[in-house]
Structure 1
Amino acid sequence: MKLLHVDSSALGVHSVSRGLTAAVVAEFKNNHADLEVVYRDLAAAPLAHWTPVADAADPASIEANRVMDEFLAADVVVLGAPMYNFGIPSTLKAWIDRIAVAGKTFRYTANGPEGLVGDKRLIVASSRGGIYSQGTPAAGLDFQENYLRAVFAFLGINEIEFVRAEGVAMSADHKDVAVQGALAGVGSLLRKAA
C-alpha cells in the first residue's frame, strides 16, 4: 500500500494539522506492515504558483511531474489542511493546481467533467482557530473543507474523510479538547478500512 503524506501548515511544531496527519500516518504504519510512505512538506519546500510551462526540461515542469506521479501512485492520501482566513494555505492551493490536470486526473466529456482518480482514499486533517462546522453561526465562512470536498470529488475521489480540530485558538483548554477529540477519531478511520 502506498500512502502520500502532505503537510501544508506554516506553524511547524506548533501546528495542529501536522500533529493530526502524523497520528493518522502512524496508525496506518501500525496496521499495514507493507506501507510505503512518501512525504511532502509544502511549507518547508513550497511549490511555485502555477504558470504555463512550455519546456518539459524546465525545473518547474519536472517538479510538477514529480508531484503528479506521487499523487497518482498513492492508494491513500493524508492531507494536512489548516484553515487560513476561511480557506486553505496558498501552498496547498499550489499543490492542488499541480494535480488537477485535464487529461490526467479529470476530463471533459459530452456529459460534463469526469474524475479519473476515484480509486484513492483521502483523509484530511483539518484544523481551525474558530468553529465553522455545519450548524454553527460561522458555517457560511467555511471555504476550506467545502473547497477540498469539491475539488477532490471533481477529480473522482468519493472517499473523503475529515479528522477535524476546531476552535484551537479559542483557549488552551478548548484546543486540548479539540485535539484529543480529533485524535480519538483516528483509530476509527483504520477500523473502517479493515
Structure 2
Amino acid sequence: MKILLINAHPDYQNPQRTINQLTATAQATIAAQAPHAEVETLTLYDPATQIPRITAETLAATEMSPVQRHLIDQWKAADLTVILMPLHNFNVVSKLKDYIDNVFIAGETFKYTADGSVGLLSNQHKVVYVQSSGSDYAHDFRYVTADIAPYYLRTIMSLMGITAMEVIRAQGLDLANSDKPAIVEATKHQLSAYLTKALAATD
C-alpha cells in the first residue's frame, strides 16, 4: 500500500501548530496500523520541496519538467492521500494551489471528451483532507458559505475521478471560550479512527 502525506502548513517546523500535531498523529497511526506501507511525506513549505509555479515559461513549455513528472507519478501511485492544511483567507494556502496545478493535468489525471472532462484516476484512491481554522465553518451561519477550500478540493478530486474524500476539521480554535486543547485532541481521535478504518479496508 502506498500512502502520500501532504503537510501544507507554512510554519511546518513548529510542533505547537495544530496541523503539525495532526500530521504527527497521522504518521503514528499509519506506523501502528500499516507498518509495511510505503509512506511518502511531502512538506510543501520546506524549501527543499520543489513545487513549480505556473509562469509564462511553463505555459510555453513543450515538455513536462522532471519535477512535475515526479509529482504526478507520486500522486497517481498513492492508494491513500492525507492532506493537512490550515485554512487561509477562506481557501487553500498558495503552495497547495501550486501543487494542485502540477497534478491536475489533462491526459494525466483527467481527459477531455466530447461530453466534457472525465477523471482518469480510480475511485479506489482515497483522500482525507484535514483542515484547521479559527472559526467554525461547518455550523456558523456567517461562515458556511465561505467554506471554499473543501469545495475546491472536492471539485478537483471529483474531476480526477476520486469521489472518496473525507473532510476532518479542527475548527473554532480561536473563538472566545473555546477549549482549544480539547478540540485538537478530539480531531486527533477522529483522524486516527478514520485512518485505522481506511487502512483496515485496504489490508
| Separation of aligned partners in 1, 2:43 and 2:103 | 16
- How far 1:55 sits from its partner (Å)? 5.8
| Separation of aligned partners in 2, 1:5 and 1:16 | 16
Q: Which residue of 1 aligns with 2:197?
A: 192
Aligned residues with identical type, % of pairs: 29
- Alignment pair present for 1:97 and 2:72: no
| Separation of aligned partners in 2, 1:67 and 1:102 | 14
- Alignment pair present for 1:120 and 2:122: no
- 4+ residue runs of structure 1 moved beyond 6 angstroms? none
Count of matched residue pairs: 191
Aligned Cα root-mean-square deviation (Å) = 2.0
Deviation digits for residues 143-176 of structure 1 (CA, Å, limit 9, x no counterpart): 1111111111111111111221001222585321
Q: Which residue of 2 aligns with 1:147?
A: 152
Stretch moving more, 131-140 or 86-95: 131-140
Q: Which residue of 2 aligns with 1:10?
A: 10
Residue 168 of structure 1 contacts residue 178 of structure 1 at CA under 8 Å; is this kept in 2?
yes
SS of the residue 1:122 aligns to: strand
Instruction: Report the TM-score when normalising by structure 1.
Output: 0.89
| Separation of aligned partners in 2, 1:143 and 1:2 | 29
Instruction: Report the TM-score when normalising by structure 2.
Output: 0.86
| Separation of aligned partners in 2, 1:151 and 1:175 | 31
Residue 82 of structure 2 contacts residue 130 of structure 2 at CA under 8 Å; is this kept in 1?
yes
| Separation of aligned partners in 2, 1:158 and 1:134 | 23
Residue 126 of structure 2 contacts residue 162 of structure 2 at CA under 8 Å; is this kept in 1?
yes
Q: Unaligned regions of 5+ residues in structure 2, if any?
A: none
Q: Which residue of 1 aligns with 2:25?
A: 23
Residue 52 of structure 2 contacts residue 102 of structure 2 at CA under 8 Å; is this kept in 1?
no
Residue 56 of structure 1 contacts residue 62 of structure 1 at CA under 8 Å; is this kept in 2?
no
Q: Give the direction of change, closer, same or farther, for the CA distance of 1:191–1:153 in structure 2 (3 Å limit).
A: same
